[in-house]
Amino acid sequence: MPDTPIKTEILIHDLKVPISVIDAGAKSLLNRQDAYGPLTDKQIKVLKRIIRNTLTSQRLVNDVLELGRSREGVMNYSDFTVSSLVRAVLVEVFDLADPNAAEIIRKVQDYDELLGAVRQVGVKLKFTKATWESVVRQDAAKVRQILRNLATNALKHRVEQIEIQGNLKERRLVLRVRDDGRGIAPSDHQKIFKTYFTTGGSIENAICSHGLGLAGVMVLLKDMGGDMALESDRGKGAEFIVKIPV
């Protein structure tokens, strides 16, 4: 059935509209209490949860569509700075995990100030000034999706903090994302890159882990001619290193 993947993607694409309607409705109730009536604290909490989950749904939809484009070899090149990439990913990640932190990250302009702000929420940034300010040419949405997936995983599994490091070397952007969590046993190193593989066992894990992130990262990297390495052992944290030609 050669046309099946396209139909699925159209279906996924069409989810965008209903998700936006749910999002807009919830935001109206929350932000226009003058028009829609006052809310209790409990109602506000529920609405905020709805809005967070519509954002997650929008991400999933966009990520799947981006993967589809990658499989078709569609690239959308643009020039962007390393700083804008990292900043956008941090905002995306914290929009869900800690909206107050996301707000601060959005506002702070200066690198040193940003360093201090993200430190408070357990993220250590390691970039030289030259790398931070460098302009690179690549498919920005794809690079963002890669870094966001690695950062989300690291934050999910960290004990205290994660570290994001970046370097430009021989026309390659090398990004390292490290956490201090439970690590990954060598016997699982290959498996985690496979679709739907998760190491978690509980029902809760089954709900928030799709096992799609890293498999998607591999698809995107392959498309761009990049690669990924993993350094980790059980109990010793994990470090994912991606090299992306720019």
Q: What are the residues binding ligand ATP (CB under 6 A)?
A: 149, 153-154, 157, 179, 181-182, 184, 192, 197-200, 209-215, 238
Look up residue 8 and give its two tokens: 């699925």
211 contact choice in Mg ion, ligand ATP, none (CB below 5 to 8 Å, kind-dependent): ligand ATP
Angle between helices 41-71 and 4-14 in degrees, nearest 10? 150
List CB contacts of 51: < 8 A, sequence separation 6 or more: 23, 26, 27, 30
Check: CB of residue 53 under 8 Å from CB of residue 98.
Answer: no
15 vs 108 by CB, closer to ligand ATP: 15
List CB contacts of 240: < 8 A, sequence separation 6 or more: 150, 153, 154, 176, 177, 178, 228, 229, 230
> Per CB under 5 A, does 181 bind Mg ion?
no
> Per CB under 5 A, does 213 bind Mg ion?
yes
93 vs 104 by CB, closer to ligand ATP: 93
Fill in the per-residue mask, 126 to 165: x = in contact with Mg ion (CB under 5 A), - = not in contact.
---------------------------x------------
**Count of residues in contact with Mg ion, rule CB under 5 A:** 2
Note the residues at the interface with Mg ion (CB under 5 A).
153, 213
